[in-house]
């Protein structure tokens, strides 16, 4: 198979692989975690998620991670099943979620997300205190930085006839 302009635009595909394998997640621009106490209600957790425009909150007790509550939990465990104002978050959270530390690599995080079907992974320090949440979007943002500018400037649907060249015109 002949190489395309897409493939030729990379300086070195091996470097892209190395970046994914070697870069610790601590080098990504991760957001601080939004947490709710284990005594909170589902309504408190959903309100925090809405206020911060995020897809999950970490559930803590004495500053230690005890669970994660995600948009998926809202849809599969709460809607039409529980009164969010009365239901304790502990009843519907995912307890003892898999976690990463800041020195874990992007490749390791991708594997965990793929195998577990996760979109968010809590990042904790050695004491088990949450320090960040890694999302699929964080990894996509990292990967986008590895691609050349001319690939990033491609039109959204080049096959639809929007543009006849990579320059968009």
Q: What is the mean predicted confidence (pLDDT) over 148-156?
A: 66
Give all domains of the chain, ordered by start, each with its CATH number: 11-149 (3.10.580.10)
Q: Is the pLDDT of residue 14 over 90?
A: no
pLDDT single digits (tens) 29-73: 998 999 999 999 999 999 999 999 999 999 999 999 999 999 999
d(CA 10, CA 152) in angstroms, rounded, equals 12
**Of 28, 32, 22, 26, whose CA–CA distance to 108 is shortest?**
22
pTM: 0.77
Write out the DSSP string of 8-28.
HT-S-HHHHHHHHHH-BGGGS
d(CA 53, CA 17): 32
């Amino acid at each position: 198979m002949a190489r395309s302009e897409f493939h030729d635009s990379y300086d070195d595909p091996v470097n892209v692989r190395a970046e994914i394998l070697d870069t610790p997640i601590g080098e990504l621009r991760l957001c601080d975690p939004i947490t709710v106490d284990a005594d909170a209600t589902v309504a408190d957790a959903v309100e925090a998620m809405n206020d911060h425009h995020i897809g999950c909150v970490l559930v803590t007790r004495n500053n230690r991670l005890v669970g994660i509550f995600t948009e998926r939990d809202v849809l599969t465990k709460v809607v039409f099943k529980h009164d969010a104002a009365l239901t304790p978050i502990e009843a519907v959270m995912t307890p003892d979620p898999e976690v990463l530390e800041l020195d874990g690599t992007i490749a390791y995080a991708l594997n965990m997300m793929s195998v577990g079907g996760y979109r968010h992974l809590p990042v904790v320090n050695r004491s088990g205190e949450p320090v960040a949440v890694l999302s699929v979007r964080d990894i996509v943002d990292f990967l986008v930085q590895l691609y050349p500018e001319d690939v990033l400037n491609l039109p959204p649907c080049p096959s639809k006839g929007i543009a006849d060249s990579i320059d968009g015109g």
